[in-house]
Structure 1
């Protein structure tokens, strides 16, 4: 009888450990803080325009096409975080019921808003004209834009890029001794806390340094591709490794797409 009890306890322990592994392996589709916070917002560019051309995050022409198009935003330094806030997604909602709808607009951080409205430690969003206007009730987009600065509430939201996998753009000027990468289309947290690369002939993960915006680099060499890339998000420390995503014959200004994303 005692042997049967021990066997049953062992089965329960094994099942509990298995469930722990399964739960831990499930993708987290939420960020740690779902609460709304107060901020202010303005808009820039054309009234119905897509916003910035490029921006301090370094995404370049990506901001002009979907899925970033008309969803871009610049933020004050408190959210930009020296570039580590690049790629994060936020819901922004205005509260004036006389002109604002109930829906929030989702924006992707692609730029920093320095000085002026964004100085003094304020939490501020400078949105594309199109994104700003979407917060208004139907037919009142121009009226909302005419108000200039407005009070809003905001919260983090998971980034979603349906049909897109994480891509790595090799920045211009990269060599076998100085390799610089930009991360694109990162689902989930959207931000990057650390990056490492590994040569195919090595088991060592080499740490990359954050340079500016969404750009990371490593000074070492000669570097031999193909390279695997491992990134860890800033917000929830989730990790993803893309094996041999950058080929042996890589070239500057090329973009290499992985087969992975955090929501796939």
Structure 2
């Protein structure tokens, strides 16, 4: 291959890599947007288990105390599950913490609308309001807990995770489901494929939250996963689960 052609191809490749990186950065580096926030009366510093994202015990799912339920417009039918938001209390001298410190939370639940109440009193999650129902611990870092509701600003940020993506198996012989947690970068999963030793790549459908399913018998096969994030980045983890995997088990793959 001529030297000039090789250099041109290398330049194009470098440009595409930089363009992709810039797109991800721009996606995360959004301007501050206005919303409101309350907190849930939890007892252990985290939102209820078995929430709308399907994470179960948030401490086991690694999201812990810094979690939030999203109003309808932000929740986006579950596609926002796992996304990370930086939130700060603003424009309220009485309730906001001095200096308007921020906190980063993970979207783990849905804050349902209540159209029997007005948007200003109880109907905070009514469409099209942008609202966060935060854990007590997270809320207490930006505002005083005596407040019922506070004005906030928020923006999407990268999710900082320790370890790889986690895949929790459930289902039956002809209905396979996997819960995907601990997702870095975007935090959101947009598409999933699974592959056994006796199958090709099988596209999975979103069941609810971050539970994905397919109607294929995958038992007694090592399983690989192809996960695509909301920004379009795809990550493939080969042979995540061994042939003798069992429903209820959790396995770890690569990280974005």
**What band does the TM-score fall into relative to the shorter chain?**
0.7 to 0.9
How does 1:3-14 map onto structure 2 within 5 Å?
Answer: 9-14=4-9
Alignment partners' CA distance in 1, 2:43 and 2:219: 47
| TM-score, length-scaled by structure 1 | 0.83
**Aligned pair 1:128/2:127, yes or no?**
no
CA deviation vs aligned residue, 1:215-260 (integer Å, no higher than 9, x gap): 10001236552111111112x11111110112211111110111x1
SS at 1:201 equivalent: coil
- Number of residue pairs aligned between Structure 1 and Structure 2: 243
1:35 and 2:37 correspond:
no
TM-score when scaled to structure 2? 0.85
Q: Map 1:19-98 to 2 at 5 A.
A: 19-20=14-15, 23=18, 30=25, 32=27, 33-46=29-42, 49-61=45-57, 63-64=58-59, 67-96=62-91, 98=93
* Partner of residue 156, structure 1: 156
Runs of at least 5 residues in structure 1 that lack an aligned partner in the other structure:
1-5, 137-143
Do the aligned partners of residues 152 and 205 (structure 1) sit closer, same or farther apart at CA in structure 2, a change above 3 Å counting?
same
* Separation in 1, partners of 2:91, 2:134: 18
* Structure possessing the higher radius of gyration over alpha carbons: 1
Q: Deviations over 1:30-89 (max 9, x none)?
A: 35151111111000124882332331111111x135841210100101111111111011
**CA deviation digits over 1:87-108, x for unaligned, max 9?**
0110111113633233211000
Distance between the aligned counterparts of 1:27 and 1:169, measured in 2? 32
Matched, 1:185 2:192: no
Q: Is the 8 A contact 1:31 1:157 kept in 2?
A: no
Aligned CA distance change for structure 1 residues 149 and 126 (closer, same or farther; 3 Å): same
Preserved CA contact (<8 Å) 2:84 2:106: yes
Task: Determine the structure 2 residue equivalent to 1:167.
Answer: 166
Following superposition, the deviation at residue 25 of structure 1 comes to 8.1
Q: 2:173, 2:217 within 8 Å by CA — same for their partners in 1? A: yes
1:147 equivalent to 2:184? Answer no
